[in-house]
Structure 1
Amino acid sequence: MKTDDLISMLAGGVAPVDRGLLAKRFSLAVVLAALGSLLLMLAVFGVRPDLPVMTRTPLFWGKVALPLCLAIGSLWMVTRLARPGMSAGSGRWVVSAGVLVVWLAGLYALLQAEPDTRVAMIFGKTWRTCAFNITLLAIPGFISIFWALRGMAPTRLGLAGACGGLLAGSLATIAYCLHCPEMEIPFWGVWYLLGLLLSTAIGALIGPRVLRW
């Protein structure tokens, strides 16, 4: 067999690369994560009874904006890190901006409040369970997002896992906003972010084990 014939035979069985595979996998993963977190929230916690009233207030949408901003930034990072040799990119600035805005708004709210109400604004009524509830609701996201990552070729496994965990936690927090009764910005700046930090840490820990290829 001639060399040219051998090359033609080997090349003939190569399937074309699906350039849209990354977008397809992560689109499906995000939809499944968001839907799974929502259904889990409904089954375990339920929707707050005054939700129709609260959705007509800007403060409620400000609460949703925090995890939404972090979800956008972490999705940006995780889709880059799903490819070999890629950095996290500019998504980290989106995440940092979301955290900075909520901290500045929380600090402003505390400075404007009466001194004897500030502790209550930070701790609310659910501080003992908030972060753990968010982590629980992130379970569907961990499953679907890490499935999407495993189908690609990440090389920075710890960082990819951390960003995947942050994405799962962010989507879980959006779902949790439909249940959580807390409406003080300082509360979100502490306990929501603690739940997101837990999800990120879990992702960083399991990433090198689950995403190894």
Structure 2
Amino acid sequence: MKTEELIDLLSTNVEPVDTRKVVRNLGIAIGAGVVLALLACIVTLGIRPDLDNPGVFGFLLVKMGFGVVVTVLGWHLLLKHTRPGGENHSRIFLAAVPFAALMALAAVNLISVPASHWGHLMMGERWRECLLSIPIIAVVPFAVITWAVRMAAPTNLLRTGALAGLVAGGISAAAYALHCPDDSLPFVALWFGGTIVLCT
């Protein structure tokens, strides 16, 4: 068989990739990842008991909001990367926006208090737990998201894998926020942001 004949044979009856199926599969995977991450956090770590306090609940929304924004933005970028050549039309730098915004707010918070308080604001009480918990909880969402991505047609596997890690890290951080007792912007910027980057 000649090369031209082989090309003709391979190009006959080629069906285009159903982009709706890719979107649906990824959506299901992310939804499953959210449920599994929440279950993992609640069963293994528990929910902090003082969420009935308005101040505590308000800061919980800040922490969860950061994780949700990272997840949604990562999902948007990941969808583009599941298509062949999609990375060429992706504004990957947008992934850094929530991190930069949170770091700016944390810096303002640090400037507004005496330097003697900086250590406690940045390290909190549970930084080691945060450092371990978010990446560990992210393993399950990452596995489910990777399964969905493998059924698509990404061409830049390194960047696609990093975005899958970003989404999984965002999901995990939002779930861990239900347990985390440390309520300061510098802590969230350093340990939530840092561990999500680690997942990426």
Query: Normalising by structure 1, what TM-score?
Result: 0.82
Calculate the aligned-residue CA RMSD, in Å.
2.0
Match of 1:28 in 2: 28
Taking the TM superposition and a 5 Å limit, the aligned residue runs for 1:127-166 are: 127-166=127-166
Matched, 1:72 2:72: yes
Secondary structure, counterpart of 1:155 in structure 2: coil
Structure 1 stretches (4+) deviating beyond 3 angstroms? 14-19, 54-58
C-alpha contact (below 8 Å) 1:32/1:141 kept by paired residues: yes
1:181–1:30 CA distance, 2 compared to 1 (3 A): same
Matched, 1:123 2:123: yes
Taking the TM superposition and a 5 Å limit, the aligned residue runs for 1:131-210 are: 131-200=131-200
C-alpha contact (below 8 Å) 1:74/1:166 kept by paired residues: yes
Secondary structure, counterpart of 2:52 in structure 1: helix
Aligned-partner residue type, residue 80 of structure 2: R
1:147–1:56 CA distance, 2 compared to 1 (3 A): same
Cα distance, 1:125 vs structure 2: 0.6
CA distance in 2, matches of 1:185, 1:164: 25
Match of 1:104 in 2: 104
Secondary structure, counterpart of 2:180 in structure 1: coil
Aligned-partner residue type, residue 123 of structure 1: M
CA distance in 2, matches of 1:37, 1:172: 6
CA distance in 2, matches of 1:165, 1:19: 22
Match of 2:6 in 1: none
Structure 1 gap ranges (5+):
1-6, 201-213
CA distance in 1, matches of 2:192, 2:21: 32
Query: Normalising by structure 2, what TM-score?
Result: 0.87
Q: Percent identity?
A: 26
Match of 2:91 in 1: 90
Structure 2 gap ranges (5+):
1-8
Cα distance, 1:55 vs structure 2: 7.4
